[in-house]
Structure 1
Amino acid sequence: MLVYLLGVVLFALGICVSVALHEAGHMLTAKAFGMKVRRYFVGFGPTVFSFRRGETEYGLKWIPLGGFCDIAGMTALDEVTPDEAPRAMYRFKTWKRTVVLSAGSFTHFVLGFIVLYLMAITMGLPNLDNRPVVSEVSDCVTNATTVQQVNDPRCRPGDPAPAKAAGIQPGDEIVAVGSTPIREWSDLLRTVQGAEGPTPMTVLRDGERVQLTVDVPQVTRPAENGGTEQAGAIGVAPSSLVPHGPVAALGGTAAFTGELVAETWQRLLEFPERIPAVVEAIFGGERDPNTPISVVGASRIGGEAVEQGLWEVFLFLLASLNFFVGIFNLLPLLPLDGGHIAVTWYERVRDWLRKLRGKVPAGPVDYTRLNAVTMVLVVIGGAVVLLTVTADIVNPIRLMR
C-alpha cells in the first residue's frame, strides 16, 4: 500500500510540474516579447507564500491543481493601468500573441517528448510495430503436447538451448534468418518453425549487425487442429519494449511521439461518444478501459504501475497525459488558449478583409458577447470532470495483474 501511495503522489506531482511549466511557457514568452507579466502562481486558493522579483509577483497557493500567469491586457477589455498600457498584450502583433498563447501547449509537447526520450534510453519504447526484439532467452526448448507443457519453464537434462548456446542476448533484434529478412515477430516465428539444424541468423545489437549460427531443433508442439506437429524452436520471447541508444532514441522518440499525438487526437474525437459508458460504469456497469479518465484515475493507475514495478506504464501514461492536455488546450473554444488564439486570428483576418474594402479596422472583439457560450462550455466541461472523477472513484480502471 505504501508503494502504491508513493506512486499516486509521484504521478500527481508530475501533473503539478506539467501545469506549472505550462504557465511558465506563457510567462517566459510574454517576457521575451516585452509584455508585462503581473503574477505567476502555481496552484489555486489561499497563498502559501509569494515574493516579487522585478515587476512580477511569484508564488505558491494551497491547492496544487493548476496555476495561472497574469499578463496585462490579455484582451482589449482587460483593465490596465496607464504604465501598463504600452506593454499590454493586445497591443502586440498577432503572431507574437499566438506564440504566447500556444506556449503552454508547446510546453506539454516538449515534456511528453522528454519523458518518452528518457523512457527510450532506459527501458525502451513500446513495441507497437511488433519488431522481432528479444526480451528473454530461455534455458531450453522442450517437446510438448499441450499448451501447459509449452509454458512449463522447467528444463530437463539434455534439453537443447539453441538461442542461448548461439549467443543471442536480451535486447537483440533478429533481422534475418538465413537469407530471409525479418521485419516482425510473426515473420521470425514462421521462418524458425520451418528451419532445422545450423541456421545463420543476423541480429542487430547496439546498432551493429552480428552474425550468429543457431542450431535449430525440431520439437513437438500442439497443432491448431488439436493434434501435434514438428516445428523449429530456438527459445526466445518477444519484447514489449524496444531499447534505443542515446542518439537513435532521438529519431525513435520523434517518430513515436508523432504516432502518439495522432492516436491522442483520434481519442479526443471519440471522447463524446464514450461518455455514456462512463455513466454506465458509475451505476455498476463494467468499466471500459478505453473510457475517459480524470486526473484522479490517471494517478490511481500511476500508483498501481509503481506498485507492480511497471515504470514504463507510469512514464507512458504521464507522457500521454501531457499530449492530451496540449492538444485539448488548443481547441478553438473559450476559455481555452485555443479559443483566445481563434479570436486573435479572427480579428486579424476580419481587419485584413476590411482593409481590402477600404475600411478601417473594426477594433477588438467584445468578449462579453461570448460569455453565454463560454459559460455553457464551462458547465459542460465541469460536468464531464465530475462524471469521470466519480467513475474513477467508484469503478476505476485497473491494471491487469
Structure 2
Amino acid sequence: MTVLLFILGVVFVAVGVAVSIALHEVGHLVPAKLFRVRVTKYMIGFGPTLWSRKKGETEYGFKAIPAGGYVAMIGMYPPNAADGSVRPSSTGMFQTLATEARSLAHEDVGPGDENRLFYRLPVWKKIIIMLGGPFMNLLIGVVLTAVLLMGFGTPQATTTLAEVNACQVAYGESAPADQSACNKTPAAAAGLKPGDVITVFDGRAVTGWADMTAWIRASAGRQVPVTVRRGGQDVTLTITPVLTARPVTDASGAVVLDSKGQPETQEVGFIGVGPTSAMVAQPASAVLPAVGDSLVKISGVVVNLPQRLVGVAKAAFSSAPRDPNGPISMVGVGRVAGEVAAMEQVPLSARIATLVGLLAGVNLALCIFNLIPLLPLDGGHVAGALYEGARRRAAKLLGRRDPGAFDIAKLLPLTYVVASLLLVMGALLMYADIVKPINIFG
C-alpha cells in the first residue's frame, strides 16, 4: 500500500506540473491570438511529435520529451536583408545561426501575414504576450494557495495541552534520564495533564494560545489561578511560572538568530507545556500576503542560485549534506510528493493539503524563474522589448530616424550559452536528487 501511495503522489504532482506547463503556454497563446499574431504551433514538450491536431491555423500537440512547451509565432525576428530588413554585420558561425533563425521565423509567412508578425507588434503588446506565461503560473499559484489556506487551513496551536513536561531544564539542554530526581516544571507541579483544555488564566478567559503564552511569560514568580476543562468538568489549579531563558520568536513563530547564527533568548515566565494543533481555515485576506512571502523567499533562492548550485554540487560529490532550503529538480519534487502521499500515519486531508501547497510552490517558482531577464526565458524577451522601446524613444527625443524593431536574433549566442547552462543545472539537480536527496522530513 505504501508503494502505491508513493506512486500516486508522484503521479499527482507530475500531472499537476504538466497542466501548469500547458496553462503557461496558454498564457502566451491567448494574448498572441488577441493581438492577431499568427500562431502556427502550440506544443507541450520537445522532440518528436507524439500526437497533434490542427485547428484553424494552429497545430496543437504533445511531444516526446516532457520538459516544457512552446508556442510558435511567425516573425519572431526581423527578416534577413534578402527579405528586406536586417543586413548581416559580420560573418561566422553565430551570424549564420542568426540568419537561419530569421529565415525559420519567416518560412510560414504567407500573403496577408505582413501585419501579423510578432516583431512588428508595439512594445507593450510584445511584453503582454511574453508575460502571459509567468502570469498564468502566478495565477495558478494564487488559486492553489487560496485552496490551501481557505479550504484546508493552516495548523494553529489550540488551548488543549498535548504534553506536560516533567523536568525543568535549561533551554537547549536535554531532560535527564532519571526524571524522578529532577526539578518539576510548574505545570507538572500544579497537576496539569495532557488533554486538559485551559479556559481561564489569572482570571482572564483564554481564547487563544498566543495570548496565553504572553500572559505566562509576564507572570514569572507569581502564583496564578488556572482553570482547565478535564473530563467534562472545570478544575481550578494554582501555578507559579518560573523565570527562565526562552528563545525569541518572530511573528511567524520562527526562532530569531543572532549575528553568529545562534538563537536569541530572553528571561521570561515558563510553565513547561505544549499545545495540540488543529487546521484552521484562513480568510481570503490571508492569501495574497502568503503568496507574497513565498515569492520573496523564491526570489532569494533565484538571486543566490549560482552559490546554491555550488553547494548542491559539493553535496552531490561528497559527504556534505544538502541544504533543505536549496533548489531541487522535478525529480526531487516528485520524490517529496511520493513521500508525503506514503505517510499513512498522517491524515489524508493533511497529505492532500501538502501536495496542493507543493504544486502552488512549483508554479510560483516557475513564475519567478521565467522572469529572469535572459534568453531563452520569457524575461529575456521582455528585456529585449524594453530595450527596443527605450532606443526608439531615445531616437525620437534626439530627432533621429526610428531604428525599428530590435533584432533579438543577435543575442542567439548568449541564448545558446544560457540554454546550455540551464541543461547543466537541470542535470546536476537531477543527479543530486537521486544520489543525495534533500531530507525534508527528518
Q: Which moved more, 1:17-26 or 1:348-357?
A: 348-357
Distance 1:282 1:160, change over 3 A: closer
Distance 1:71 1:138, change over 3 A: same
**Cα drift, residue 336 of structure 1:** 1.0
1:293 is matched with which residue?
328
Q: How many residues align?
A: 364
From 69, 78, 91, give the equivalent of 2:120.
Answer: 91
Q: Matched residue of 1:400: which SS?
A: coil
Whole-Å separation in 1 of the counterparts to 2:244 and 2:270: 13
**Cα drift, residue 366 of structure 1:** 2.9
1:63 is matched with which residue?
65
Gaps of 5+ in 2: 79-101, 170-174, 183-187, 202-206, 229-233, 247-268
Gaps of 5+ in 1: 127-132, 178-184, 202-212, 226-230
Distance 1:2 1:352, change over 3 A: same
From 8, 11, 20, give the equivalent of 1:9.
Answer: 11
Whole-Å separation in 2 of the counterparts to 1:399 and 1:222: 34
- RMSD over equivalenced CA pairs, Å: 3.7
Q: Matched residue of 1:272: which SS?
A: helix
User: After TM superposition, where is structure 1 displaced by more than 6 Å over at least 4 residues in a row?
Assistant: 192-195, 219-225
Whole-Å separation in 2 of the counterparts to 1:29 and 1:216: 67
Whole-Å separation in 2 of the counterparts to 1:360 and 1:367: 19
1:190 is matched with which residue?
217
Whole-Å separation in 2 of the counterparts to 1:323 and 1:24: 17
Q: Which amino acid aligns with 1:384?
A: M
Task: Check the 8 A contact 1:162/1:235 in 2, yes or no.
Answer: no
From 285, 289, 292, give the equivalent of 1:255.
Answer: 289
1:359 is matched with which residue?
400
2:91 is matched with which residue?
none
Whole-Å separation in 1 of the counterparts to 2:168 and 2:414: 67
Distance 1:222 1:43, change over 3 A: same
Task: Check the 8 A contact 1:121/1:244 in 2, yes or no.
Answer: yes
Q: Which amino acid aligns with 1:257?
A: V
Whole-Å separation in 2 of the counterparts to 1:298 and 1:66: 16
Whole-Å separation in 1 of the counterparts to 2:48 and 2:220: 67
From 302, 305, 310, give the equivalent of 1:276.
Answer: 310
Whole-Å separation in 2 of the counterparts to 1:373 and 1:214: 73
1:137 paired to 2:170:
no
1:1-400, aligned counterparts within 5 Å? 1-76=3-78, 77=102, 78-79=105-106, 80-125=109-154, 133-135=156-158, 137-138=160-161, 141=164, 144=167, 147=175, 163-164=196-197, 166=199, 173-174=208-209, 176-177=211-212, 187=214, 189-191=216-218, 196-198=223-225, 215=236, 217-218=238-239, 237=275, 239=277, 243-245=280-282, 248=283, 250-286=284-320, 287-308=322-343, 309=346, 311=351, 312-400=353-441
Q: Which moved more, 1:251-260 or 1:370-379?
A: 370-379
Whole-Å separation in 2 of the counterparts to 1:192 and 1:306: 44
**Cα drift, residue 198 of structure 1:** 4.5
Q: Matched residue of 2:373: which SS?
A: coil
Whole-Å separation in 2 of the counterparts to 1:193 and 1:122: 40
Q: Matched residue of 2:67: which SS?
A: strand
**Cα drift, residue 329 of structure 1:** 0.8
Whole-Å separation in 1 of the counterparts to 2:221 and 2:65: 62
Whole-Å separation in 2 of the counterparts to 1:71 and 1:167: 67
Distance 1:218 1:232, change over 3 A: farther
Q: Matched residue of 1:85: which SS?
A: coil
Q: Which amino acid aligns with 2:334?
A: S
**Cα drift, residue 107 of structure 1:** 0.7
Q: Which amino acid aligns with 1:89?
A: F
1:206 is matched with which residue?
none
Q: Matched residue of 2:46: which SS?
A: strand
Task: Check the 8 A contact 2:331/2:430 in 1, yes or no.
Answer: yes
Q: Which amino acid aligns with 1:244?
A: A
Which of the pair has more CA radius of gyration?
2
Whole-Å separation in 2 of the counterparts to 1:165 and 1:375: 64
Q: Matched residue of 2:70: which SS?
A: strand
Whole-Å separation in 2 of the counterparts to 1:279 and 1:252: 37
**Cα drift, residue 285 of structure 1:** 2.2
Whole-Å separation in 1 of the counterparts to 2:152 and 2:238: 32
Task: Check the 8 A contact 1:50/1:60 in 2, yes or no.
Answer: yes
Task: Check the 8 A contact 1:294/1:389 in 2, yes or no.
Answer: yes
**Cα drift, residue 19 of structure 1:** 0.7
**Cα drift, residue 138 of structure 1:** 2.9
Q: Which amino acid aligns with 1:113?
A: V
Distance 1:161 1:3, change over 3 A: closer
